[in-house]
Structure 1
């Protein structure tokens, strides 16, 4: 049976993936573990410790699965390739080798966001939820659907969220992705406001009519895309042309 592991992004727990449940084809095993510090999962003593994160997530990230990391989850999943056995493939959804990129989110804007989070974390997180939905066809409707999924409570433990913003600022997985231990596929909404245009255009798969949150706006298209990726043969299964 083909296996997918779906990993959420900053400030949002695994409930974000629920809209895809109605669209998965038969024969696909899908799991949606929370990161430490999200949902009911306790945070790490040091949320910035990637080795500790790998140890905590090892049971949720098997080597015989395709890992799908959305937004910050895509950065963290790529970073964990240095700490865990490689999966069949890694899919970065709405993310490149780093969050701040030329033509995309400038470092100064993220720095201002971090300062705002230090003053009022929950208000800042709610602002981020609306901000990342700007590329969806109907942002207000998408925001209502998102809140219906995840509620209005804190998206995670404060220390974990603060470290997540630091990771968005500093984490760069370019070196790992230049020499990956498994196939890496990038998927992006064609209207993602958080990705630089060059990153959107160079993605292996682009989702029409979607922004940064295709699981909210286009769950059918995203599920079909991920199902196609997971059913591609692993490198050892590929036949020479």
Structure 2
């Protein structure tokens, strides 16, 4: 039996994983905890603080599981490896060592943060559209995402602003260089938030940043394969 903990990224709560539900093998147990401030999870007093985040997430991140962190969720999960007992392994899905190492420059992220401060909801909606631009059918994927999340951001403004701060600041390069557990990288071939695939990355063809929506069956197969690999 394999336990996978699926961790969402910026602006999306655990509902992003629902499309995978019918594809898991019988011997896989997935769990989808929300980050503090998302869904029904209480927000942190200081949402950007990693020590408080580790304390809040510890019950949901057991060491016998494979953690799967998508986008910002991958950066956060890798950062928590220094603060929690390491899991069997970590999969970074659609996640670079530093968010601004890719097509989104520090200046562009700074502009986005200022836009968010002016109009959080409109900026959130813009991000949802942009992150889906690499999917084979972006409009269909956006419709599916809106059906999952609704029209209101799944977190309060302070939590979302802290997430943008973390996207600007977190750098997991040192953790990747000396990992406390096996770390694997998986991404869509056409992810608009990442540079071209690297040799060490597994690639999902015909997918962008959100393979949960565009390639759920293929994503599950890859995750189950990685779970077997780290459990061997």
| TM bin (shorter chain) | over 0.9
| Counterpart for residue 181 of structure 1 | 180
Residues 124-149 of structure 1: CA deviation (Å, up to 9, x unaligned): 00000000000000111110011111
| Counterpart for residue 215 of structure 2 | 218
| Counterpart for residue 11 of structure 1 | 11
Count the aligned residue pairs. 232
Residues 164-213 of structure 1: CA deviation (Å, up to 9, x unaligned): 0011011111111110100000000000000011xx23343100100000
Residues 11-60 of structure 1: CA deviation (Å, up to 9, x unaligned): 10000000000100111010000000000111101111101100000000
| Counterpart for residue 2 of structure 1 | 2
Residue 160 of structure 1 deviates from its aligned partner by 0.6
Correspondence 1:139-218 to 2 at 5 A: 139-197=138-196, 200-218=197-215
SS of alignment partner, residue 6 of structure 2? strand
Residue 155 of structure 1 deviates from its aligned partner by 2.3
CA RMSD of aligned residues (A): 1.0
Residue 108 of structure 1 deviates from its aligned partner by 0.9
Residue 95 of structure 1 deviates from its aligned partner by 0.4
- How many angstroms apart in 2 are the aligned matches of 1:95 and 1:207? 14
Correspondence 1:14-163 to 2 at 5 A: 14-101=14-101, 103-163=102-162
Contact 1:3–1:30, Cα closer than 8 Å, also in 2: yes
Cα 1:161/1:232, change in 2 over 3 Å: same
- How many angstroms apart in 2 are the aligned matches of 1:83 and 1:225? 27
Q: Normalising by structure 1, what TM-score?
A: 0.94
- How many angstroms apart in 2 are the aligned matches of 1:169 and 1:208? 28
Contact 2:10–2:160, Cα closer than 8 Å, also in 1: yes
Residue 233 of structure 1 deviates from its aligned partner by 4.2
| Counterpart for residue 228 of structure 2 | 231
- How many angstroms apart in 1 are the aligned matches of 2:198 and 2:80? 26
Q: Normalising by structure 2, what TM-score?
A: 0.98
- How many angstroms apart in 1 are the aligned matches of 2:68 and 2:43? 21
SS of alignment partner, residue 203 of structure 2? strand
Gaps of 5+ in 1: none
Contact 1:105–1:196, Cα closer than 8 Å, also in 2: no
Structure 1 stretches of 4+ with a deviation exceeding 4 A read none
- How many angstroms apart in 1 are the aligned matches of 2:161 and 2:199? 30
